[in-house]
Chains A and B, each alone.
Chain A
Amino acid sequence: MGTDTKFLQGEVSETSDAGEPGLNVEELLIGLARALLAEQRERTT
């Protein structure tokens, strides 16, 4: 038995030189900033 290798290989892109198609870079950056800040607040309290 074993899981379908689809689940083991990770998320695969055709090329590594293009960003993820369909992802909004600005939204991701805002999300990253908010999440890191929340983590930092939690660590310092």
Chain B
Amino acid sequence: MKARPVRLLVIQLARLGDTLQSLMALRAAQQLYPELEIHFVCRARFAGAAARVSWIKNVITLPTDELFGPILEGRKSEGALVPELARWIAPLAEQRWDYVVNWTYSDASSFLTALLPARVKLGYTRRKDGKIACADGWTHYVQAIVQGGVEQNIHLTDILTTQLLTALQIHLGESAADGNAAVTSKSFFNLELGERDSAWAGGGGTSEPNKKWIAIQLGAAQEAKSWDPSNWARLARTILKRHPEINLVLLGGREDQARASAFLASLRADPAIDPRATLSLVGETDFDLWASVVGRCQWLFSGDTAAIHLASVLGTRVLNVSTGPVRFAETGPYGNGHYVIRSSRPCKACEKHETEASQHGCRDLITPEAAYATWSYASSEWSHRRKTPLETHFRNLGWSTHARSIHVHRSRIRSTADGGGVFYEPLLSHPMTLADWNSMVMGHVARAWYCGWTPQIGQELSREAVDPGLLQSIRELDEESGVLEMLLEQAEQTALALKDKSSLLKSNKVMHVRDRQQIQELGVRMSEIEGLLDRLATTQPALRSFSQMAQVMMHNLRGDDLRDLGEETAISYKQLREGAVILRDWIRHTLKLAKPIALTTRPDAPSARVVPLLPSE
């Protein structure tokens, strides 16, 4: 007997990149729970991708231009918007939803989620008092950590996937499917291709079997996140001269025309370059043509754009030149064998989220030579099988200096036994910063909190990554993390005492003076502990995650009386304390990694040679 459809409404009002990541997460859920009937709400401008997915039942678009255009142009008053929005929402609000999943993580989307009736809600919504609320644990994490500016290393696609699958598992039970089907595929979209695609495929396109194609996505939503066209052109010249089998196709929107002109002019100025090897489709692609081109290319080169998510969905390999304020561990290309290049030096403009591109020194530290060396290494993995270190490859090309100011990471999907999800493996030796180390710890803590299972502590931390600077920072953190654990335990005990005391009351309002005094004292104690947690996070920024999580969790307490609130407070602090225990385990593991090691332990050896890796205290 066919199972009753489970009606799921997903709200994704962010940009195209977020839409594509949502589609990947939904594909995984739909494969495990085929009874899902998926409805997708998005902005009209970004509806193209969802509209081409056969397993989405319905795409509902928010007509932003029609709704807001007249108001922004002063032709209509703001008051006119409310009835128009009400008319747009009415058909959604009249339906019976099993799940409403808000993956936009914005203020506006929280109102929409609150307006729609559903049996289960995930993501941001609104409380009865009108304040923003997190409907589930992963949403606590997104608000406090991801949006709170704390480094962590779980990819957003993995967060969305796990958030939905966990809720489905709780409410629907275990999936009957094994979950091993591939999520990404060249046929992910049912594209509607017209004559222009035939021209690309048959004329200048991919019909020549010996030709390999690289797509270059020029530009990005923010100038700081885009590499200069002169850099792309220098990289292209190097590739075309050394690899005659390669053709290039330029991609971008109408706003990228100037970039494309600069790029093409630079190529034409070089007589050694055959102009027929480069095709520009800048400003000419709708979603279907864009997806078709990216899907047929062997590689996509791009900054932080939706194109890297499109390539991820389609299984096209990505060289991501990551510049500007981007956290690639969260939003980088998803899948196996993608490469991310990023400056290894701190960029003040990135820290301050400066919009002016010229302020971003990180854009200039990645050279075309570094990008070429990385790509040529990546595209020849079949021959060196990654037994040759990337540093050696740079040296063989005579470009070792170009490797000094960059990080290169290679993506891989962990096995299910190792916890699953995408991980970015560093390929060049650089000292690890405390922020990098902390992002690994935070990812581990989150998996313990929300997946209920974690791999071994320090699984992806190598001894070589622990340098004296990091070691010193971790020694300082050791003491402060002990204080953190103690405070969290005190908070938990205080909340439990509050719960026990409240359980004995006959009323929350009318009580004995002595009881009221004791409850007030417990409340004061709880406030003091919260204040101390905040002060600790100010002193030691690596502990900011715990204080921010505590704030979000306390804001989201559910319960109608003191007893319920006390109980949920205790559960929250217990969760945080367990996270602090994991942090302390990581500290111990890292300090142990740095201890001297015996190079030989043969019993007949005259004396075991002990080599200190790092100076110990």
Contact = CB atoms under 8 A, between A and B. Distances in A.
Interface of A: 1-13, 15-20, 22-25, 27-41, 44
B349 interface: no
B571 A6 contact: yes
A8 B167 contact: yes
B98 interface: yes
Interface stretch (B133-141, B179-187, B457-465): B133-141
Contacts of A23: 114-115, 126, 128
Contacts of B85: 29, 32-33, 36
Contacts of B119: 12-13, 15-16
B106 A39 contact: yes
B571 A40 contact: no
B117 A18 contact: yes
A12 B135 CA distance: 9
A24 B115 CA distance: 9
A9 B81 contact: no
Contacts of B511: none
B111 A13 contact: no
17 contacts: A2-B453, A3-B450, A6-B571, A7-B140, A8-B138, A13-B118, A17-B96, A31-B130, A32-B85, A32-B111, A33-B78, A35-B107, A36-B81, A36-B108, A37-B71, A37-B78, A39-B106
B397 interface: no
A13 B117 contact: yes
Contacts of A30: 82
Max chain B C-beta neighbours (<10 A), residue from A12, A17, A27, A33: A33
Given A10-B167, A40-B64, A28 B115 contact: yes
A32 B571 contact: no
A30 B225 CA distance: 35
A16 B82 contact: no
Nearest to A36: B108
A16 B78 contact: no
Given A32-B108, A40-B64, A44-B72, A8 B114 contact: no
A32 B114 CA distance: 10
B319 interface: no
Contacts of A18: 117
B81 A1 contact: no
B519 interface: no
Given A13-B117, A36-B108, 17 more contacts: A1-B578, A3-B450, A3-B575, A7-B571, A10-B99, A11-B136, A12-B119, A13-B118, A17-B117, A23-B114, A28-B114, A31-B126, A35-B108, A35-B111, A36-B64, A36-B85, A44-B72
Contacts, number: 134
B111 A8 contact: no
Nearest to B140: A7
A1 B111 CA distance: 34
Q: What are the 9 closest A-B residue pairs judged by CB atoms, nearest first?
A: A2-B452, A7-B137, A35-B108, A32-B111, A11-B135, A22-B128, A16-B119, A11-B121, A40-B68
A32 B115 contact: yes
A34 B409 CA distance: 41
Interface string B86-101: 1001000100111100
Interface in B362-388: none
B55 interface: no
B115 A3 contact: no
Contacts of B448: 1-2
A20 B111 CA distance: 12
B120 interface: yes
Contacts of A44: 72
A9 B136 CA distance: 6
Given A13-B118, A32-B85, A37 B68 contact: yes
A36 to B, nearest CB: 5
Given A16-B119, A39-B108, A29 B82 contact: yes
Contact of B98 (A4, A16, A37): A16
A17 to B, nearest CB: 5
Contact of B450 (A8, A38, A39): A8
Contacts of B106: 35, 39
A13 B119 CA distance: 5
A42 B615 CA distance: 52
